[in-house]
Amino acid sequence: MMQISIEISLYPLAEEKFKTEIWAFIKRLRLVSGLKVVTNGMSTQVFGEYDLATSHVMAEIKHVHQTLNAAVFVCKFIGGDRSEVEAEI
């Protein structure tokens, strides 16, 4: 089964909805069985089976665009499960 790691940063352009929309996006992804969702101050990382992860991430991106109309996403898609890879020093 092919795995993927996705790093996402969401920037709602409506300042008053900034934190609310980011946390709603993250919470919806955390509800998906089979995905590992990790957050930090800069981004959200999603790890899981390729088709499951990409389909849910893209559906949530679409949901945000339909809801806000003004949001920017910065995403990185990396083949394989990078959730356990330690940073090299």
Q: In this predicted model, what pLDDT tens digit does every residue of 64-87 receive, in sequence order?
A: 999 887 899 999 999 999 998 754
Task: Please work out, in degrees rounded to the nearest 5, the angle formed at the alpha carbon of residue 9 by the alpha carbons of 7 and 12.
Answer: 155
> What is the reported pLDDT for 86?
54
Average pLDDT over every residue of 58-66: 94
pTM of the model: 0.88
Give the model confidence (pLDDT) of 1-45 as tens digits.
Answer: 999 999 999 998 877 767 888 999 999 999 999 999 999 989 999
The dihedral through the CA atoms of 29, 31, 63, 41 has a sign that is negative
Domain 3-79 classification at class level: alpha beta
Two structure tokens written together for 70: 């003004």
The Cα–Cα gap between 44 and 6 comes to 8
The Cα–Cα gap between 32 and 16 comes to 27
Residue 21 and residue 68 in contact, taking contact as beta carbons nearer than 8 Å: yes
